[in-house]
Chain A
Amino acid sequence: MGDAMLVKALEATARKLRRESLFVMKEMGVGWLGGSFSSADVVTALLFYRMRHDPQKPRWPERDRLIISKGHSCEIVYAALAEAGYFPREELKTYSHPGARLQTHVNTRTPGIDYSGGSLGLGLSFAVGSAAGAYVHATDANLAAPVRRYAAKFRVYCVVGDGECNEGQVWEAAANASHYRLDNLTAIIDHNHFQSTGMVEKKMNMLSLADKFRSFGWEVREIDGNRMSDVVAALDWTGTVEGKPQAIIAQTVKGKGLPAYENTNCHFVKITDEMITIGQEALKD
């Protein structure tokens, strides 16, 4: 598939997943609209382009790991996993029901989910552990060796919220990742500029996240995280970096795809029938 065709196909998938995830949210009556929609393009490109995984073997030891550190943005992930074939599409209707595998924060009981979210600021640490583990599995690899001569068994992709970068542990993980030169680790910061109750810059201004990751020893790229060609190119780039973890600062729009909600504080909102109707129209092919 040529690049343009690939991007077009992924864009169509992202639109479809946004449509699907609206129905998922409707199951609970409220949904993580803002974060699900802002990260939709990144999640799509990861699961339908970049990651090495097999929906028929969700516990395949050498699968690439997807860590959704911002565990609330789960509806888009569930829609994507169903689309990929991890579980039947019908199961999306069980979202948030008691005993269901699809909980209101990503949870390892769901096939395809490697990390349970909900407590913010922890996912990158988990990703660091898994990325280091991928090197331990590579025979005779030495985490302390000055030159890495061994191939990691798998790559780890971690989607981090910009609001959760307030949490100090994100930076413990960032330092540790570059200390161990975990080049099989990519963090994608979904920089939609809104956290639970307001704009990130007004809550605790972290200034430049790109500068921060760079100063922690990461290779950094800033992209438009809602432009599929940018996302694909950045994910391709991660595979070319040696000896350093990579951070993709994805500038995104909260609620991207539903114009009435874009760039508003639509973190966790009521989902109405009208929104569904408008959404299906706005996101149609």
Chain B
Amino acid sequence: MKTPHLRAKRDTAESLYAAHNRALVALARRDPRIVSSYGDFPPGEVGEVFGKECPDRIMDVGIAEGHLVTSAAGLAGAGLIPFTHCHGIFGVGRAYNQIRQNVAYDQRNVKIVLCNCGVTWGGLGPSHQVVEDIAALRAIPKLAILSPSDAVSCEKATCAAAEYAGPVILRLPSTGDVYPTLYTPDLDYRIGTAICIHEGRDVTILATGILVADALRVAEELAQAGVSVRVLDMQTIKPLDETAVVAAARETGALVTVEDGTILGGLGGAVAEVTAEQYPVVVRRVGVKDRFGNSGTAAQVKADCEITPPFVRRAVEEALKTKAERAK
């Protein structure tokens, strides 16, 4: 059922990173166990705002992502709740084993905040874009992965992560950009629950992160053309809301996944796994193919990687066509 907490207009854009830090400082005021750690990056809020409020509870370890993640596990071992920030690619790429061994394996109460996730952060080029964060981390046992889509859900996800007893990955887009605010502040956010933001019968778009706003736009356009599209905001990648996925498969008969990372093992892979076993239907995956990104503005990179709204729309139309052909 469509959430009642969707804003009527998308006339506001905010930074998810700023929203996260706002929530983090508020949490730290209430709970002395909350600490912030990071490795020279990201600039701005995480150091300045948090550091001003809680100078005794911030740890900058320099450019050392492996040490950053393991030392966060050590902070948790001392009874604290670290929120540990780094570039998505270097968290996943340089600290994969540390996330696995020191955080997930021991179920440490560490919240790893991966910034600049997905391919859309184009400014510094493919070396700094992570396309495999969801695919790589989803394979690690007992690790919750949250992928908020706007500032409101990001603030809620930060609070939920703090309350959650165990390791959490919080996946954020570019720290320097703003994105349309989708939800009203009273959003009912729960880890493990997808949010229906557009009701529909013909096909379902399952999107995550900042591309949820694009998915909604496509659904609204297609509604004008008489196509009834359900849109699910897959706020939690793991544990995946399998109930919502299977219901979408059963009730709409065609699924299109949308993400700004690789389709190989990403959200598209996760949805395909669930439906293949539980309710096989047509699945089309929009995301980064088996390739790296390129330098450029977010808009340029999105177009280059074929993840803009026209590509989403084309995938929806293909899925509908295949669904119709199979029904014959």
Contacts and interface: CB of A to CB of B under 8 A. Distances in A.
A142 to B, nearest CB: 5
Given A142-B55, A143-B56, A143-B59, A65 B64 contact: no
A127 B72 CA distance: 10
Nearest to B72: A129
Nearest to A150: B56
A122 to B, nearest CB: 5
B291 to A, nearest CB: 30
Contact of A134 (B56, B78, B101): B78
A122 B102 contact: yes
A118 B78 contact: no
Given A128-B71, A143-B59, A136 B78 contact: yes
Contacts, number: 107
A144 B47 CA distance: 13
B57 interface: yes
Interface in B63-97: 64, 66-67, 70-80, 82, 97
B81 to A, nearest CB: 10
Interface string A204-221: 000000000000000000
Contact of B55 (A115, A127, A130, A144): A144
Contact of B98 (A122, A130, A137, A140): A122
Contacts of A154: 78
Interface in B307-325: none
Interface string A227-238: 000000000000
A178 interface: no
B78 A119 contact: no
Contacts of B79: 61, 133, 137
Contact of B77 (A119, A130, A176): A130
A47 interface: no
A127 B74 contact: yes
Interface string B215-233: 0000000000000000000
B58 A132 contact: no
A116 B71 contact: no
A136 B80 contact: yes
A109 to B, nearest CB: 9
A176 B61 contact: yes
A201 interface: no
A282 to B, nearest CB: 36
A175 B73 CA distance: 18
Interface residues of A, number: 35
A127 to B, nearest CB: 6
A176 B72 CA distance: 13
B62 interface: yes
Contact of B105 (A116, A132, A142, A175): A116
A68 interface: no
Contacts of A11: none
Contact of B74 (A119, A129, A141): A129
B58 A143 contact: yes
A159 to B, nearest CB: 15
Contacts of A118: 101
B323 to A, nearest CB: 47
A169 B67 contact: yes
Nearest to B95: A169
B76 to A, nearest CB: 8
Contacts of A176: 61-62, 64, 67, 71
Contacts of A272: none
Given A116-B105, A169-B66, A169-B67, A129 B56 contact: no
B75 to A, nearest CB: 4
A127 B77 CA distance: 9
B106 interface: yes
Interface string A92-131: 0000000000000000100000111011001001111111
Given A119-B97, A126-B102, A176-B61, A65 B77 contact: yes
B71 A129 contact: yes
A58 to B, nearest CB: 13
A91 interface: no
A235 B45 CA distance: 41
Interface string A60-82: 01000100000000000000000
B237 interface: no
B101 A116 contact: yes
Contacts of A144: 55, 58
A108 B62 CA distance: 28
B66 A126 contact: no
Contacts of B59: 132, 143, 180
Contact of A175 (B35, B56, B62, B98): B62
The 6 lowest CB-CB distance pairs between A and B, nearest first, are A129-B74, A133-B78, A129-B71, A125-B70, A172-B67, A172-B64
Interface of B: 35, 55-59, 61-62, 64, 66-67, 70-80, 82, 97-98, 101-102, 105-106
14 contacts: A116-B101, A119-B101, A122-B70, A122-B101, A125-B70, A125-B74, A125-B98, A126-B77, A129-B76, A129-B77, A131-B74, A136-B56, A143-B58, A144-B58
